[in-house]
Amino acid sequence: NILEIYLHMNERSSENGHSEANPLKGLDITGLDDKLISDLMQLKLLQSIIDISPNFLILKDKDLVYREVSKSFCRFLGKQRSQIIGKTDFDLFPEEDAAAYQESDMEALSSNSPIEADWQVYGKKDARWLHIIKNTFRDPDGKPIGVLCSITDIHERKLAEKKIRESNRQLLSIFSGVDEFIYVADFDTYEILYMNEKAIKTFGHFIGKKCYKALQNFNSPCKFCTNHLISKNNLGKTHIWEFQNKVNKHWYRCIDKAILWINNKYVRFEMAVDITDKKNFEKKLLQLSFHDKLTGLYNRAYYQEELNRLKTKRNLPISLIMADVNGLKLVNDAFGHHHGDKLLKLTAEVLKECCRGEDLIARYGGDEFLILLTKTPKSRVMEIINNIKAEAPKKRSANIPLSLSIGFAIKTKLGNIDIDILKDAEENMYKDKMLNFRKSHKEMIEFLTNALYEKGIETIDHHKKVEYYANMLGKAMGLFNYKLEELSLHSKFHDIGKIGIKEKILKRKRKLNPNEWQHVKKHSEIGYRIANSSPILSPISEYILHQHEWWNGSGYPTGLKGKEIPLISRIVAVVDAYDNMISKKPYKNKMSEAMAIKELKKFAGAQFDPNIVKKFINIIRKEDK
């Protein structure tokens, strides 16, 4: 055993007081056999290896006495080899450190495998970090005969690691206050090693847990952990992906910033940003791109996309129902667009109530709606239309029932179905509208006048009196029959625009303030728009607009004067004023006929046409006789 011989020769050399601890130096080899000489040459080689090794090499016997050391170790301690050989740790180091070193040596002697440790050892100048590997040498019988220590100076590495740790600590302290969610996870195990304050506050304290379990409630690594994992061979690359968190249901954009080497291991540095608002906005945009904002139904673009997708043979027959809201413009003009919008919403409700879940319902235009049906026989199409017509009048806005014109088309062949089916359904819808046009508008006008009566804005008695006196006056002035018909119609609807004025203002007992009066004056224009929206009232729309013009030009809304004011408007102005004066109103008491006539004379030539006032007074006096 070469080591045994080496230790023995080394021990003899020390006992003989050699100044150098080299057992081969000055050794007389006369008479030794070749085998022993070869072994001794190997010992010489071992000594050379020990001397030139950059690591600290130490050889101790079983009693933990130094038997050989490398020159590098001698330089570290600042001692000669002779000052170390034959000594123990207690001769070279402080007692506490020596005890620890020998305890480690004893552990190595009793172990069957090498042991490793990092020690901070005090040398000649200062303490340095050393990495120590200890291995036991045994004789042929397996008994320990010594310990070989290989020591690597890792002081610079330890300092570098300390700097990295300090740098990481400072970096993480910076991350603690940022608004993004940041966490660091072990590359291989996915265990969360660090979370900043924002991440802890949002998700909870999950340090030590698997990231996929903590953040997404998965039992195994998710596709984002595996598919987007950055290779250790490409440190520093960045991946970005989006996912919905299973814990708080929020959407996040995850930025896998880098794979870092921290504390002797690879870690994933990840940053997540809450993009829930962005996702909701995108969802809203998508919703708006294919849906009508007012009714919530699909829009024209979506209908076209779906028709292109559904026009296949297996979906034949394909049917299209078109519905149009009757009198929508009239309602908008009379009551405001909010009531018109309500009619559109009510239409959507009716269509959804009467259709199947798989039927596509879309708002095609302003007041037009489409229902696209696939694999639907004509009997079922007619059933849906009849249900719609039955349910629509039950829906009301401003006490006006919903009225729809409906047409349909059925195609059993593809061809130019996207063009033909819409064209045919639209033509049939317009036929239905024309058949019921006057009827629906007449009903609408009746509802408007009844609304005036119900609110107490006007009375049936007042309209009858105005119509009666106006006809008498018109005949006395020699009007043709068609003009008398217009006069009669205007007598009933001259103040129809008041339906759009707030009831509390019209019924106010005190004198109106300037703002309230400006509001009331708008009824002439409202009435004009209502009349233009109705084929029944359109002939008298100009008369309604100029009903409150004055003879001297100081009236409203356009300031016409004299004969610029339509004759029928001038006639009704006189008659209407007279009946209002002799009738009780919320804001005044009624006058006698004599007082009313006196007022007409007073304002003749200013407010009223003086010629008409004169003729009307003559008619009233004849009536009294």
pLDDT tens digits, residue range 159-208?
Answer: 877 776 676 666 666 566 566 777 777 877 778 877 777 777 777 777 88
pLDDT exceeds cutoff 50 at 229: no
The pTM of this model reads 0.53
Token pair recorded at residue 400: 């006006």
Q: CA nearest 365: which of 295, 447, 467?
A: 295
pLDDT exceeds cutoff 60 at 24: no
pLDDT at residue 239, rounded to an integer: 65
Confidence of residue 20 (pLDDT cuts 50, 70, 90): very low
pLDDT at residue 341, rounded to an integer: 92
pLDDT at residue 151, rounded to an integer: 85
Q: What is the mean pLDDT of residues 8-18?
A: 48
* Pairing mode, strands 265-274 and 181-186: antiparallel
Indicate the burial class of 156 (C-beta count within 10 angstroms; 0-12, 13-18, 19 or more).
Answer: exposed
Distance CA 243, CA 276 (A): 10
Indicate the burial class of 290 (C-beta count within 10 angstroms; 0-12, 13-18, 19 or more).
Answer: middle
More confident position, 209 or 2: 209
Confidence of residue 23 (pLDDT cuts 50, 70, 90): very low
Least confident of 305-309, 331-335, 558-562, 607-611: 331-335
pLDDT at residue 228, rounded to an integer: 45
* CB proximity list for 227: less than 8 A, separation 6 or greater: none
Distance CA 542, CA 479 (A): 18
pLDDT at residue 460, rounded to an integer: 85
DSSP assignment of 276-310:
HHHHHHHHHHHHHHHB-TTT-SB-HHHHHHHHHHH
Confidence of residue 230 (pLDDT cuts 50, 70, 90): very low
Q: Which amino acid is at 602?
A: K
User: Tens digits of per-residue pLDDT, 495-534?
Assistant: 888 888 887 887 777 778 888 888 888 999 989 988 888 8
Q: What is the mean pLDDT of residues 381-400?
A: 89
Confidence of residue 44 (pLDDT cuts 50, 70, 90): low
pLDDT exceeds cutoff 70 at 81: yes
Distance CA 74, CA 123 (A): 10
User: Tens digits of per-residue pLDDT, 353-384?
Assistant: 999 888 999 999 889 999 999 999 999 999 99
DSSP structural state of residue 409? E
Confidence of residue 477 (pLDDT cuts 50, 70, 90): very high
Its sign, for the CA torsion 363, 368, 374, 375, is positive
pLDDT at residue 487, rounded to an integer: 94
CB 184 within 8 A of CB 263: no
pLDDT exceeds cutoff 90 at 288: no
pLDDT at residue 172, rounded to an integer: 62
Least confident of 36-50, 448-462, 529-543, 607-621: 36-50
CA 184 and chain centroid, separation: 27
pLDDT at residue 467, rounded to an integer: 92
Confidence of residue 400 (pLDDT cuts 50, 70, 90): confident
pLDDT at residue 259, rounded to an integer: 64
pLDDT > 90: what percent of the chain?
A: 31
- Mean pLDDT estimate for the chain: 81
Q: What is the mean pLDDT of residues 144-170?
A: 78
